[in-house]
Structure 1
């Protein structure tokens, strides 16, 4: 007779992945500290924060835009304007 495995929920999987990610980050931070590289710890923390806040994705999106697309967005930021097609 086969035993049924307990069903793992999506939430549990995400929780485990998040915990593993935190552990890896802490190991990397500890290694950099041991190597005497607080500058790299600062850089790692900054990059992780920017990723968490969506800044990294926003920069990548901006870099992927063409120059005319960027100009349109900048014009739209200047005031009470809207894009009409």
Structure 2
């Protein structure tokens, strides 16, 4: 038995689902892109909370500032990914 799960992408109309299976356990993720985006939001929140705690305690303010920067970049990347995902580039006839 492998430690890595088997990953399958399933297309249901205009949405893409993800199935992860390993042995007798399987996880079915509906709307995989939206789910990945939610995980990114959680990680962004964790970086801001951790940065706040580090700055409040004064333990290592440089690490807090780095986490704030990472969180800010993540908030900038999110709408960019949404725009790219919702756009199509078609080649016109010349």
Q: Same fold (TM over 0.5)?
A: no
Q: If the length of structure 1 is used for normalisation, what is the TM-score?
A: 0.39
More helix by share: 1
Which has the bigger relative contact order, CA under 8 A and spacing at least 6? 2
After TM superposition, the score normalised by the length of structure 2 is 0.36
Larger radius of gyration: 1
Instruction: Flag the structure with higher strand content.
Output: 2
